[in-house]
A and B are shown apart, each in its own frame.
Chain A
């Protein structure tokens, strides 16, 4: 009962076409312009801040990504806001667009499997985003060099690079969510709204809701409250709930990678801090290890969403 031939027949062709389509689309150019503006703006603002406070920080360069200057938020804030929007913008009409243009049945009547089309669309969009993010990353580093004139150290570049990779993985989550919705909804506008709605829910509402839910499920202990402390059970549950959101996971990874002094992502007991030199930076490997569960979580979410979309797409009727 094995099916004939490779499921990846034509994958490269689809991927390259998607890539070419995206890179020449007005939609992408607009998104890229916004991102560029924000990059230049935030790096310039960060430079002003850094010039006032520097001197001793061994990880000066990473400050470009994390420094905010009231009322302007930091670069990573903008990035965590814009990466999902870009990802959704690229794939919300991936499959339903082919349906609506009535190209789907014509393409699938060529000697390829549906797998190749779906994989190609995902990889094409991911490569597009990766190209945009690499450009952005180089831009920030270049501008940083230009503005403060101090070259970054090896570890700083390594950390910035891991940050870049994680951002691409984060983009993958929203890409596969938008791809899934483009399979589920025949109307591109509905798919875009549903994906953006879900993103807003996870980005804005869920963190608040997680706290409220945790308080309801595990009510705070008045004895802790009397000491001015949070109840450990409540805090732990709140964090577990909050981590269901990819935005939370991404935020935690960024903190661990870009701030080398981060020792844990969550509540720790005093006993766990025994012997620790507070404020001392961790090596990169240790920082990645701290964020590893979150990174795996993002990759797993991407794969699960993609697989759901894949199964639905395989069973879908191709007729328009």
Chain B
């Protein structure tokens, strides 16, 4: 594996008796990348994560995390990887700082380093003021942030987050996603699983869509959009200027122009035509107010994919979620 790949899975399989939970999946995650494992509950996301951490046996295939084999060298993997489980729990009677102290002792940090790391981590997730409050009084969003603080404190190179945003209100979700982006800024790779497609779309560099234990689709959201929806780019323009629609229609690659409102136009194109569109408006001495490209919606991709392949659609009740 290359030095820029932190997680590499090949034909990873997990079976429970005759039931197959994860079926020969292969993927890789690069350094500093945010990789999303998306799919309905019970599609095998959590099982995959537990195999990466060496917390459950691997039935078949190979996996390497930072060059270590989680089944053979779990301690090396767990020392370098932070994990935020689905609905993370803390010891309610202990304070936030004490909960982190326990983890820090388990990791083996010495006293001075421990206190410094804990204070920094709590600061970064905005929990400094609640450091000495019992976790029992924390909201769900605060617990999730405390879980991220634990990963920060650990100084992990990879953060594995299982359903980090489920059950959070929009404000808490936004906060959490901004912390996750900060992980990326610090060069930490993030593997996150979710069944909430829209939310995750905004942070993930690449995604893998899980279905019934397999990866149905993998790539960047726009790649998947073109592959599945077949649609090209949709560019919205808000500008003033006579005859603008006709001029824009002449841009190579534009297949159609429609009026969506007063001074609002929508272009359908097979590539990103924003630069040319902007140049046209400016050339006409028009006033450009808005120019944007619509990302394909992950939800649309997902639904479209499984509508077109009903035999692969996730079946209810075949497998049980975490």
| A residues at B contact (CB < 8 Å) | 1, 3-5, 9-10, 13-14, 17, 21, 101-103, 105-113, 317-320
Contact = CB atoms under 8 A, between A and B. Distances in A.
Query: Max chain B CB contacts within 10 Å: which of A1, A5, A111?
Result: A111
B139 to A, nearest CB: 16
Nearest to A108: B55
A102 B78 contact: no
Interface in B58-82: 72-76, 78-79, 81-82
Given A108-B55, A109-B55, A317-B56, A3 B106 contact: no
B85 A111 contact: no
28 contacts: A3-B72, A4-B72, A4-B73, A4-B74, A4-B75, A5-B75, A9-B108, A10-B106, A13-B106, A102-B85, A102-B89, A105-B55, A106-B83, A106-B84, A106-B85, A106-B90, A106-B103, A106-B150, A107-B106, A109-B53, A109-B78, A109-B83, A112-B75, A318-B56, A319-B50, A319-B56, A319-B322, A320-B86
A4 B71 CA distance: 10
Interface in B170-192: none
B111 interface: no
Interface string B43-57: 000100010010110
A112 B81 CA distance: 13
A279 B46 CA distance: 69
Contacts of B86: 320
B106 to A, nearest CB: 4
A103 B143 CA distance: 12
B321 to A, nearest CB: 9
Given A106-B89, A110-B107, A318 B55 contact: yes
Interface residues of B, number: 34
B62 to A, nearest CB: 16
A103 B76 CA distance: 21
Contact of B147 (A10, A21, A106, A320): A106
The 8 closest A-B pairs by CB, nearest first: A102-B89, A109-B83, A111-B79, A110-B106, A13-B105, A105-B85, A103-B89, A5-B75
A15 to B, nearest CB: 11
A312 to B, nearest CB: 15
Query: Max chain A CB contacts within 10 Å: which of B74, B87, B92, B103?
Result: B74
Query: Max chain A CB contacts within 10 Å: which of B85, B92, B103?
Result: B85
Contact of B88 (A10, A13, A106): A106
Contacts of A320: 85-87, 89, 322
B78 to A, nearest CB: 4
Nearest to A114: B55
B102 interface: yes
Nearest to B47: A319
B91 interface: yes
Contact of A110 (B46, B56, B78): B78
Contacts of B106: 10, 13-14, 107, 110-112
Contacts of B74: 3-4, 111, 113
